[in-house]
Chain A
């Protein structure tokens, strides 16, 4: 009998090794085909380096810091877009998160629909949403806000639902055993266990939105991204360098603030 077990383990190991080799082979082929298809050569790397250095030292540097004040308004706009976008996605995703969680969703079909909606909203990149929304509501931060709201909601529905699925079922049963109705079970059994992950996912989304907000501006959706793409289009690279430094500073500052806030709230 133990022979059979050994035989099984051995065969399994061989099978696993075979699959691993197949995966490695697949990736090697994929890389080679990609290099061929894009005409990429290793020498492009070191031939490109002088161009990059020349661009850095002659065009981009030194940043023209005297224009820093011009980016103050767009910075506020970027923060407003990220915050409003996060707010929209939280408000939208909180109820859908409950509907998408296996353990508390009223009907399996509702759960499937909520999950599918979430997959669609988050798989489309935010900048694609922004592109579509700029055609609808026109150039400006409002398009960016809705775009961030949509792709954020997609991510949050999934994260909320996953965290709700992870909570302790015993507590729900205990509340239910007191004769509590569905709503009371939600409020007293589910919500208290879910709220730390709710806060931390929502803050994380705000963090991500700052990054995306700086980028969706490139298609005209307002904020620092818009200032940056304008500067690049006008070949004012030294001003673009200032915009990039602003974006970098903003991202790092918000990351610091949300980390502090998370530590404080949870």
Chain B
């Protein structure tokens, strides 16, 4: 009997069932995938029809219609503006929130809890849903997009700014306080210099995220390049869709590239 047991174990003394744990995971996860897909009432006819439509769509996409560039460059620039302003407002408000919510310098612990709860909420609701709400509240145009991005940014930046202030070396604050500095001087001479690098690189990262959102704000009715994209798919002008998609790609990629250069410089 002990012979049998030895045969069944591998070098590490694992039984065959234990040894195959990754396989059980793979099988279970695949089964879950099949169940999820089956729940979407797919059938062969729909997939074949989709394939046919994909073929037609690709045929219409090429060559992309670059003639519309003159018309879409305005909305593209507006998209950039919205991303920059949304990030800027987000950063400004987040600095205030970060200072008030950081555990080591918060005026009162209830302020800390309230502000951290507020940023958790604004972070958890996706940016496009904020845009949807702001369109109803303040009307069309670039303003709802700017506000949506700012509010969603506060959720993320408020949290990380507070955390980077909490990570500051206590000795630095004490050293400045020992010279008889006022609270405002403590902030400007001890806190700001030590959090600036983190603050800048998180803000740039957020600009990266915001340009992506800004490009699709038009999908919910706020302006910019996203609106042109939706319009072109509704009119089945897929050669224009491809041009706009490529332009979005270039914009997002360019912002990412500039950010990486600046971040490399800071480090």
> Chain A residues in contact with chain B, CB under 8 A?
16, 19-20, 23, 30-31, 33-35, 37-40, 44-45, 48, 51-52, 54-56, 59-60, 76-77, 80-81, 83-84, 87-88, 119-120, 123-125, 127-128, 131-132, 134-138, 140-142, 145, 211, 214-215, 218-219, 222, 228-229, 232, 237, 244, 247-248, 251-252
Contacts and interface: CB of A to CB of B under 8 A. Distances in A.
Contact of B78 (A38, A87, A88): A38
Residue of A51, A136, A142 with highest tally of chain B CB at under 10 A: A136
B212 to A, nearest CB: 5
A218 B36 CA distance: 20
Binding site secondary structure of chain B: helix
Residue of A23, A34, A237 with highest tally of chain B CB at under 10 A: A34
B248 A128 contact: yes
A68 to B, nearest CB: 18
Interface stretch (B4-12, B123-131, B187-195): B123-131
Contact of A215 (B124, B126, B146, B238): B126
B19 interface: no
A20 B233 CA distance: 43
A83 B128 contact: no
B71 interface: no
Given A38-B85, A140-B40, A237 B137 contact: no
Report, as a range, how many residues of chain B touch the other chain. 35 or more
A56 B245 CA distance: 35
B178 interface: no
Given A123-B253, A124-B248, A34 B80 contact: yes
A218 B137 contact: no
A52 B57 contact: no
B99 interface: no
A247 B85 contact: no
B128 A218 contact: yes
A244 B125 CA distance: 8
Contacts of A120: 249
B199 interface: no
A83 B32 contact: yes
Nearest to B85: A34
Contact of B77 (A37, A48, A54, A138): A37
A123 B252 contact: yes
B102 interface: no
B126 A135 contact: no
Residue of B33, B36, B53, B256 with highest tally of chain A CB at under 10 A: B36
